[in-house]
Amino acid sequence: MLVGMSLLPSSTPLSSISTPFEFDRVLLPAHLKKKKSYSTWNRLGYNPIVRSTTFPRRRVRCCLSMADGVSTSSPSQVQDNFLYSRAYWVSKSIIAWNVEAGDGSCYLYASKTAALSVTNDGIQGYDVKIELEGDNAGLSENVMEKFPHIRDYKAFKIPPTSDVKSLVKCQLAVAIYNSDGECRNATGLQLPGVLDELFSYDGPLGAVFSKEAVSLYLWAPTAQSVHAYVYRDPSRGDPLEIVKLQEFNGVWSVAGPRSWEGCYYVYEVSVYHPSTLQIEKCIANDPYARGLSADGRRTLFINLDSNALKPEGWDNLVDEKPNLLSFSDISIYELHIRDFSASDHTVQPDYQGGYLAFTSQDSAGVLHLKRLSSAGITHVHLLPAFQFADVDDEKDKWKCADNEMLESLPPDSHEQQAHITAIQNEDGYNWGYNPVLWGVPKGSYASNPNGPCRTIEFRKMVQALNRIGLRVVLDVVYNHLHGSGPFDENSVLDKIVPGYYLRRNTDGFIEHSACVNNTASEHFMVERLIIDDLLCWAAHYKVDGFRFDLMGHIMKRTMVKAKSVLNNLSRNRNGVDGSSIYIYGEGWDFGEVAQNGRGENASQSNLCGTGIGSFNDRIRDALLGGSPFGHPLQQGFVTGLLLQPNDHDHGTKAVEERMLAISKDHIQVGMAANLRDFVLTNCDGQEVKGSEVSTYDWVPVAYALCPTETINYVSAHDNETLFDIVSLKTPMGISVDERCRLNHLATSIIALSQGIPFFHCGDEILRSKSLDRDSYNSGDWFNRLDFTYNSNNWGVGLPPKEKNEKNWPLIKPRLADPSFKPHNSHILAAVENFSNVLQIRYSSPLFRLRTANAIQERVRFHNTGPSWVPGVIVMSIEDGYEGVPGLSQLDPIYSYIVVIVNACPTEVTFAKPSLRARTFELHPVQLMSTDKLVKNSTYEASTGCFKVPPRTTSVFVEPRVPANAMV
């Protein structure tokens, strides 16, 4: 998800929430609910945080209204406190709790059978009762570093003779008694701290294959017993055998016969679960699963090293991968696997919407990718392709739309969306941000979701893309999981070690700011699982990069370690060049992790100097106007602000002028790779650093220390497509020709900026989703792509009501107006213009400078200060000459480049006296273009005056002359 997180609503205090439904509403804002279907909430009928509880809803509401630390004397009220886990077992010897013992006493209770209860005589049903001693020294520095959100809690010491490893398998509670022996407060415990201290483990996990055996290893230190049920069939039949695993220091294992390969298994884990206050027998897949049956019913015993699972030439793919000299040479094209071919009739029906479509060398989609690869795109970013929920793996279960009927409806009708949403949770479409198991390819994209097909076909996809010159980025979603609790069919990790993998708040309930079921990479074994999973995708599937969803919810330490571990993969040892694996993600800083609330997180401002990329929302918002959560008609630099106003009230003309000037500053900082130390002249005529240019929230615009830490983009899968947002924000009276030029103007700025450019699939073909702002579950109908260039999918009905209804009054007249719809000629021109600007980027290394110092030395912005020409950006990039002091020579062809962006509806001239007498000419690619307007761009050497047509980006180059010819 790509969102402007500074505009998210703040969370409501837990104590103010009165009902489970209100709890759901507050903690799951509409724009984040997309990864959990509403039908799931409705079916469950209660608060997702405690949806596994067996207690009546009335009682849950009662306990939710109690404030932390309230003294209570009623046994029933103390009993209710067991639903909370407000104390933290932070180390072997310390429990942290935000209470004052005073002159009373504090005890730890443990029950192997989860029989703790409260009577007038105090807590009963325990097997162990341990008196705790208050520690006036407080929490240690290392504990406060690991748990910064509880740094002010009181510390209680546990006697050193306590059998801690046995205690963590029990129901646990701590209680405070007053001097009269009356129990006045009690709560459950959160265990990640002590589990990390006692049970951190770096040995084998999952199914491990040797010549003679298949061994299972499961990390489950709180489990009381673990059994593996082994099956021959992927979904039916009785188990072949049930085997009991043995535990050593928190790891359960068993050695089985080699004949298990190709069979399936599940674990039965007997464990105390804090959401039910009971010992549960949880049936779960292996967290380290590398294969699954359809819909994840059972884990497949699969050996990824088996030659039978490798396409021909797989082991030598590292030698076939397209060259990548520097991360600065990367350009990224974001693509959804199903979108790519579901509507492509040049792909054989069995392949449509799946992995194998990428192997259809002569399909319209693959021919289009070849064209983009030839122009300069280096990486295809695939939306989630691991096992996710809300799409059945078995295609015969899908419901399909009646496209013939939908085609007959008016372009502004509400009937299309009603038909699509009626089946949206039963069709074959979802973006996939609903993680169930991170380490297995999604079954619905395979020709057969059972057995090893998904592994083989995913590998064929990667191989096919590499062979047409494209590296593959996998979109990974480690910030949350789709399921939790002991009963949810999509829950895995929370069944194995309840309360460990998922981040909890100070009441003990799961945090949901990332969507639902936030994961906790600050815990050792969560971080390990993430890194092991990345290594699996890199080594066994030869993925070339990773894009992290809501990366800011992951700890910086985890990201840095992941980068280092991936970088250490080698051709000889792993068959992979780890130094060429690039990682980037969404560095938004919000929720419980904001401002390092759970440790230093991987937010934009924290990642500088790591070489890890993060999305630059500043340039996006300045180009388009507002933010994804602002008024939909708010205009920006390329959508007509001041220059061609729409009906939205932006304020006075002076206000609009100021907004446009500030937007230009933000864009220029982005074009300089969003470097925080890059010095430029701002709209007030002052020399400032990028970090001294502020957003409207007074947050620094620039945050990067090197160019590869910035991902510049203007559109992505989230929010409206680029063409749609341009069509929405520009005045209704302009022509479709003008809108198409603005679409290209926006992508050209991204393509010619320093840093790494990122494009949403369809930016180059004027892709429309009929103005849908969130198409994650809008089916193939609203997400259709046409690589035959006949349609851009505009005007296929009002977009789905759930996310768009409030904007229907704006959307309806636009969809109804036939003049808004591009023709085939517009789409063909857009493809050519996009290809041309990419060719220009790769025609000179000056567009892809590798260091911050090189950018500061060579990049200049000229139309600056209070007297600037509104709507025009002028950027120059200077090169040196071999053998001449000063700048080194990087480009053998061009010695100087000037890029002029004219967002005005009229032609503009710009004179720069310092550029007089230079031999500038329009870039050869633009001279050869079929775009007649750009060919009208001129430069006059005697005056240093450039002339640029309306809504055009013109690139002027100075061809290099020999050094001895210079005066």
* pLDDT(39) > 50: no
Confidence band of 392 (pLDDT split at 50, 70, 90): very high
Q: What are the structure tokens assigned to 800, written together?
A: 């789905």
- pLDDT at position 696, please? 82
Average pLDDT score over the chain: 92
Q: Which is more confidently placed, 55 or 294? A: 294
CATH for the stretch 199-309: 2.60.40.10
Which listed residue (527, 533, 586, 621) is catalytic? 586
Chain-centre distance for alpha carbon 794: 27
For residue 527, give the H/E element and its range: helix 524-540
Task: Give the integer Cα–Cα distance in Å for 960 and 218.
Answer: 64
- Average pLDDT on 366-385 reads 98
The tokens describing 624, both together, are 């388009």
**What CA–CA distance (Å, rounded) separates 688 from 678?**
8
By CB atoms closer than 10 A (0-12, 13-18, 19+), residue 577 is middle
Percent of the chain's residues with pLDDT above 70: 92
- Fold equal for 327-394+424-431+443-582+595-600 and 855-959: no
pLDDT digits 0-9 by tens, 466-486: 999 999 999 999 999 999 999
Confidence (pLDDT) at 103: 84
Assess whether pLDDT exceeds 70 at residue 385.
Answer: yes
**SS3 readout for 275-326:** CCCEEEEEEECCCCCCCECHHHCCEECCCCCCHHHCCCCHHHHHHHCCCCCC
pLDDT band, very low/low/confident/very high, at 962 (cuts 50, 70, 90): low
pLDDT for residue 47: 32
464: exposed, middle or buried (C-beta count within 10 Å: 0-12, 13-18, 19+)? buried
Residues 919 and 942: their CA atoms lie apart, in Å, by: 10
DSSP codes joined into one string, 731-791: -TTS-HHHHHHHHHHHHHHHHTSBSEEEEETTGGGT---TT-S--TTSHHHHH---TTSS-
Q: What is the pLDDT of residues 601-639, one digit of tens each?
A: 999 999 999 999 999 999 999 999 999 989 999 999 999
Task: Determine the Cα–Cα distance for residues 116 and 170; give it in Å rounded to an integer.
Answer: 10
Q: What pLDDT sits at residue 867?
A: 92
pLDDT at 120: 82
In Å, the largest CA–CA distance within the chain is 100
Lowest pLDDT segment from 103-107, 563-567, 836-840: 103-107
Annotated active-site residue 780? The verdict is no
Return the C-alpha torsion angle 77, 78, 84, 88, nearest 10: 150
Q: For 855-959, CATH number?
A: 2.60.40.1180
Q: Which fold has domain 87-191?
A: Immunoglobulin-like (2.60.40)
Question: Does pLDDT of 426 surpass 60?
Answer: yes
Q: Domain boundaries in the chain?
A: 87-191, 199-309, 327-394+424-431+443-582+595-600, 614-776+789-834, 855-959
Q: Which residue has the higher pLDDT, 162 or 966?
A: 162
For position 223, what pLDDT does the model report?
98
CA distance 291 to 793: 36
Partner residues linked to 712 by β-bridges: 616, 757
pLDDT tens digits along 102-158: 889 999 999 999 999 988 888 999 999 999 999 999 999 999 999 999 999 999 999
Please give the distance of CA 512 from its chain centroid, rounded to a whole number: 15
* 332 has a pLDDT exceeding 50: yes
Our answer to whether residue 549 is catalytic in this structure is yes
Q: Residue 757 pairs with which residues in a beta bridge?
A: 712
Write down the catalytic residue from 412, 427, 549, 720: 549
Torsion of CA 97, 99, 105, 107, to 10 degrees: -30
Digit-coded pLDDT (tens) for 15-30: 332 222 222 323 333 3
**Which conformational region is residue 536 in: left (phi greater than 0), alpha (psi within -120 to 50 degrees), or beta?**
alpha
Reported confidence tier of residue 3, pLDDT bands at 50, 70, 90: very low
Exposure letters 143-180 (e unless 16+ CB within 10 A, then b) = bbebbebbeebbbbebeeebeeeebbbbbbbbbbbbee
Top mean pLDDT of 4-18, 175-189, 236-250 is at 236-250
Going by their DSSP bridges, the two strands 386-388 and 545-548 should be labelled as unpaired
Query: Which numeric CATH code is attached to 327-394+424-431+443-582+595-600?
Result: 3.20.20.80
More confident residue, 66 or 789: 789
- Angle (CA) 214-218-224 rounded to 5° is 125
